[in-house]
């Protein structure tokens, strides 16, 4: 049983369990204000293309569905790149979704992802506070992950109720492959692995596994990738590594080619899988 996108009328938003639980979500997410985060939405995408959504900002999510913005979101269009981890919204194209979200008091933030056998969960945290930097978000990632777990536990009955009336945005075209897999390693494992390899000062290249056709990243590319995954902006990377903006962009283009990603968002997801492959350093030149 579900609701197709053609039925996104006023009565749908007034009666669907995904939206009638908003007051409970508002109450549960009040502690996020201590971190300067005012927006939260939980999205669960199932392998058949259906989903549920629980939010503390029904006005924005209603607009998101009514205006068809879900057709443009990276989380709707590129499921093959998802793995357990996080995506800073600054990695994504601002138009059209995030520029419109800003009109609803949501300007920037982060999305945590959890991949399961039958679905993938997305925990979206947002804010209009310009003082909440990517570095601050990264430093509080453990707190956000803990909140996500608490949310699932506290809202278990609401999630179950919403599953009885799943939303079907693409009724004739499932965006999820039935064989959607969970990631073998977490983002933290990737960072530990990469940092370990970069710690070998004599290592000039880091070779990748079969999935990447046994290609390699140069040491400078691996260092830049580490900074990107940590949420550092391109301009800050330029200053931190003392290289030009053109050099940063050139290395990013090379990394995209080698890892098969088109955007920084996709590169972030792919990077989370690197440690699940045979990744090892080669010494010398």
Q: Write out pLDDT tens, residues 121-135.
A: 999 999 999 899 999
Question: Which of 31-40, 113-122, 224-233, 264-273 is the most confident on average?
Answer: 31-40
For the chain, the average pLDDT equals 79
| Order of strands across the sheet that contains 39-46 | 2-4, 166-168, 51-55, 39-46, 119-127, 108-115, 85-88
Query: Given 3.40.30.10, 3.10.110.10, 3.30.1490.100, 3.30.450.80, which CATH number is that of 2-168?
Result: 3.30.450.80
The set of residues, in sequence order, having a beta carbon less than 8 Å from that of 177 and lying 6+ positions away, is 47, 79, 80
pLDDT band (50, 70, 90) for residue 272 = low
The answer to whether 183 and 276 have CB atoms below 8 angstroms apart is: yes
What is the rounded average pLDDT of the residues 17-41? 95
The answer on pLDDT for 138 being more than 70 is: yes
Percent of the chain with pLDDT over 90: 38
pLDDT band (50, 70, 90) for residue 214 = low
The answer on pLDDT for 46 being more than 80 is: yes
The answer to whether 123 and 111 have CB atoms below 8 angstroms apart is: yes
What is the rounded average pLDDT of the residues 100-114? 92
- pLDDT given for residue 218 in this prediction: 86
* pLDDT tens figures, 237-247: 999 999 999 99
pLDDT band (50, 70, 90) for residue 22 = very high
What is the rounded average pLDDT of the residues 105-119? 89
The answer to whether 207 and 283 have CB atoms below 8 angstroms apart is: no
The answer to whether 132 and 44 have CB atoms below 8 angstroms apart is: no
The answer to whether 18 and 57 have CB atoms below 8 angstroms apart is: no
What is the rounded average pLDDT of the residues 150-168? 93
- pLDDT given for residue 122 in this prediction: 94
Largest Cα–Cα separation, the chain: 66
What is the rounded average pLDDT of the residues 190-197? 56
The answer on pLDDT for 45 being more than 70 is: yes
What is the rounded average pLDDT of the residues 208-220? 74
Residue 82 Cα distances to 89, 155, 212, angstroms: 15, 24, 17
What is the rounded average pLDDT of the residues 258-274? 74
The answer to whether 161 and 16 have CB atoms below 8 angstroms apart is: no
* Selected residue with higher pLDDT from 209 and 69: 69
* Selected residue with higher pLDDT from 12 and 152: 152
| CATH 1.10.10.10 is the classification of domain 187-283 | yes
Closest CA to 124 of 103, 99, 107, 136: 107
- Domain residues of the chain, as ranges? 2-168, 187-283
């Amino acid at each position: 049983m579900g609701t197709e996108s053609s039925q996104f009328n006023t009565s749908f938003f007034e009666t669907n369990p995904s939206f009638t639980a908003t007051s409970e979500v508002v109450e549960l997410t009040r502690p996020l204000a201590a971190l300067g985060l005012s927006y939260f939405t939980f999205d669960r995408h199932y392998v058949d293309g259906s989903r549920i959504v629980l939010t503390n900002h029904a006005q924005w999510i209603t607009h998101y569905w009514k205006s068809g913005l879900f057709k443009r979101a990276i989380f709707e269009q590129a499921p093959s790149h998802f793995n357990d981890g996080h995506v800073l919204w600054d990695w994504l194209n601002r138009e059209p979704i995030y520029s419109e979200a800003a009109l609803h008091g949501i300007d920037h933030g982060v999305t945590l992802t959890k991949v399961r056998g039958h679905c993938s969960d997305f925990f979206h945290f947002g804010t209009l506070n310009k003082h909440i930097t990517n570095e601050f978000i990264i430093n509080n990632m453990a707190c956000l992950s803990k909140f996500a777990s608490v949310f699932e536990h506290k809202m278990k009955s609401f999630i179950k109720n919403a599953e009885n009336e799943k939303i079907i945005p693409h009724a004739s075209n499932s965006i999820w492959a039935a064989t959607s897999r969970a990631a073998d390693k977490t983002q933290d494992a990737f960072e530990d692995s990469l940092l370990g390899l970069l710690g070998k000062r004599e290592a000039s290249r880091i070779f990748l596994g079969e999935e990447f056709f046994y290609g390699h990243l140069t040491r400078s590319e691996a260092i830049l990738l580490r900074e990107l995954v940590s949420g550092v902006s391109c301009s800050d990377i330029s200053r931190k590594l003392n290289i030009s903006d053109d050099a940063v962009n050139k290395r990013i283009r090379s990394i995209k080619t080698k890892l098969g990603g088109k955007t920084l968002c996709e590169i972030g997801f792919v990077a989370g899988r690197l440690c699940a492959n045979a990744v090892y350093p080669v010494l010398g030149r």
